[in-house]
Structure 1
Amino acid sequence: MAVPVLTKPFWQARLPGLAVAALVAVTAQFLSEHYGAPAMLMAILLGIALHFLSEEGKTVVGIEFAAKGVLRLGVGLLGVRISLEMFLGLGAETLALVLGALVATICFGLLAARGFGQSRAFGFLTGGAVAICGASAAMAIAAVLPRHDKSERDLVFTVVGVTVLSTMAMIVYPILAGRLGLDAQATGIFFGGTIHDVAQVVGAGFSVSEETGEFATLVKLIRVTALAPVVLIAALLIRAQGAGTGPRPPLVPGFVLAFLALAALNSLGLIPAPVIEFANGVSRWALLTAIAAVGMKTSIPGLLKVGGPAISLLVVETVFLALLVLGGGQVIALF
């Protein structure tokens, strides 16, 4: 049996929409490099402006493919960033704090969602995005959540929300760390353990010092490592709960397997540095293209219906994580 993705009709149907999404991604990257705006935020806002392309015409199929297939490619390739050496570079106390805060934030999101009038799935989506790695985590989690008529709207809201909050944190947290008198290591733990997106962690860390930047980046990548296990566990639970309600999702999503396999190969030193650099670049462009496509599938009226309670939930989750990591960092400093 021929592999569908290798057939000419497959690509002919998807190429127009995929090309448009890629063009939006290139434009977003240009704006980011020249005006300092977050590329993910630019991609999704530009995509929303082109919503009509996802409703009818030759681009519909390709946009759908970019929002799902290209997304999975980008998340899977994130595994090349991860290695066992990263874990060994942190002390046991710091590792426990970072992972403990991550799990606590996700659980908090699940519990707090009801109090803000949101579903547990929405609480998991926002809590996971805040706890792990912002927009990338939101897209990976959304890929395994049960689909409904508000799926794209919820994802776009979460991506925009965590990107804006992450940018604000990049500005505010260095000031807060200075006021609290945190040393380089404590500041790195604070930034890496709380700021949502990797780029903003790097920006905040190196704005303080090189030592802080390196430590913050390392802590942040430990959080990224948790992406695959969290998505895997969620997929297994959703699959078990969805028995008998229609088509069941795969036991283990393919992009999660790819993430874990690449992380294992990188830990063994089997991936050459040029390949890692290339895979990182492909992953970034794939995620940027995917989020542009997700933006195209979202209407502004629908996005405005998210409401104040959803915004409040995202902010409260962010504050919860920040207080948890700050408090835990102070405890570690005492011993």
Structure 2
Amino acid sequence: MPATAQSAFDTERLKRRAREIGPGLLVSAVIGIAAQFLSEHYGAPAMLMALLLGIAFHFLAEEGRCVSGIEFTAKSVLRIGVALLGVRISVELLMGLGVELIALVIVGVVLTILVGMVGARLLGRGWRLALITGGSVAICGASAAMAIAAVLPKNEHSERNLIFTVLSVTVLSTVAMILYPIVVQVFDLDQRAIGVFLGGTIHDVAQVVGAGFSVSEETGDTATLVKLIRVSMLAPVVLVFSLAIRAGGAEAVEPSRRPPLVPAFVLAFLGLATLNSLGLVPEIAADLLSDVSRWALLVAIAAVGMKTSLRRILDVGGPAVVLIVGETLFIAFFILAGVLWLG
């Protein structure tokens, strides 16, 4: 194809894509701006307002012209926002967490998966559901659920288990985003400790960011860093699951259909954090990227809210609900106890 024809084709494809995602992206941006207005004039947390306003417009994510744009915003714009947060993170902040807190988070991930396996056996549910729910709760919510599902051998319940897990962790993360910052105030923790608790317990990255920055900037930075530590464990956990399944004689999906073990936005986050730690990011650039990140996250949170249907959780079976709620409560109590014990 000649260069001119290729250029015209690419331009037309971009225009078509823009028309497809434009309405949903615009609605998400309007909700984000409205949330920021409420925050500035009434003192309400902007992230929380964006989430609640988004939930009120959930019908836009079910059908119509906005669906594709809302999906794009909730995933791609969110990842851009989280990646750009790397300019606010440094090795100094990581070292400030201490080896004990980092170890606490890692142990929490491992024990939550083990609790899920034991709980599934006691409730009469299969090991596939145990791995997918335990991994999603322990690591990074819906993203972990999809990555783990990609290496599990398929059966007649595979699709149901994945849909149930994605819906459940989304709802539980939304509830945790609202309740955890309120409940944790009872324990008189400092801003850093609250960030460790929020980042170490809430399932999805979006809700961790929303909960953290609704408390304070320091809490948000710490919560995001702790959450990224959990997200970075997705690669070894999925690898262990895959090797164990193959050793047991079960076949997983083709390698070409598996998602990357470490998401690109995590690598971008770590790359920017490294540059910032080395002093290679000018202050003016860091401030600009930080502002872009804040607005991207605010708009993405609005889209996440629009995608959240609180009533659909009632459509799943009781034992499965007990399992994933139990895993959620376990990691919350474990991390909270560890934070209190470590002081």
Counterpart of 1:292 (choices 268, 286, 302) is 302
Alignment-derived partner of residue 74 in structure 1: 81
List per-residue Cα deviations over 1:222-245 (Å, max 9, x = no partner): 413404412444566788874338
Instruction: Show the 5 A alignment for 1:53-202.
Output: 53-105=60-112, 107-109=114-116, 112=119, 119-128=130-139, 137-138=140-141, 140-141=143-144, 144=147, 146=149, 148=159, 154-155=165-166, 157-177=168-188, 190-195=193-198, 196=202, 197=208, 200=211
Deviation of the 1:99 alpha carbon: 3.8
Write the letter of the residue equivalent to 1:175: V
Deviation of the 1:19 alpha carbon: 0.8
Q: Residue 257 of structure 2: SS of its match in structure 1?
A: coil
Deviation of the 1:84 alpha carbon: 1.5
Deviation of the 1:198 alpha carbon: 5.3
1:276 to 2:286 alignment: yes
Alignment-derived partner of residue 232 in structure 2: 229
Deviation of the 1:267 alpha carbon: 2.1
Change (3 A) 1:268 1:33: same
Deviation of the 1:295 alpha carbon: 4.1
CA contact (8 A) 2:87 2:276 kept: yes
Deviation of the 1:66 alpha carbon: 2.0
List per-residue Cα deviations over 1:299-320 (Å, max 9, x = no partner): 5552432566566556544543
Write the letter of the residue equivalent to 1:270: L
Change (3 A) 1:324 1:62: closer
Query: Any gaps of 5 or more consecutive residues in structure 2?
Result: 1-5, 151-158, 203-207, 244-250
CA contact (8 A) 1:125 1:141 kept: yes
Change (3 A) 1:101 1:275: farther
Alignment-derived partner of residue 15 in structure 1: 22
Percent identity of paired positions between Structure 1 and Structure 2? 42
Normalising by structure 2, what TM-score?
0.67
CA contact (8 A) 2:132 2:145 kept: no
Change (3 A) 1:188 1:75: closer
Deviation of the 1:297 alpha carbon: 4.2
**Residue range with higher mean Cα deviation, 29-38 or 270-279:** 29-38
| Structure 1: distance between partners of 2:111 and 2:312 | 31
Deviation of the 1:193 alpha carbon: 3.1
List per-residue Cα deviations over 1:13-61 (Å, max 9, x = no partner): 2212211122223334444555666555544444444344344443333
CA contact (8 A) 1:28 1:39 kept: yes
CA contact (8 A) 2:168 2:324 kept: no
| Structure 1: distance between partners of 2:117 and 2:293 | 29
Change (3 A) 1:80 1:189: closer
| Structure 1: distance between partners of 2:319 and 2:304 | 23
Change (3 A) 1:122 1:329: closer
Q: Residue 226 of structure 1: SS of its match in structure 2?
A: helix
| Structure 2: distance between partners of 1:153 and 1:294 | 17
Change (3 A) 1:315 1:93: same
Change (3 A) 1:321 1:298: closer
Question: Please, what is the CA RMSD of the aligned residues?
Answer: 4.2
List per-residue Cα deviations over 1:165-203 (Å, max 9, x = no partner): 3543433333334xxxxxx7xx56753332344565577
Count of equivalent residues: 309
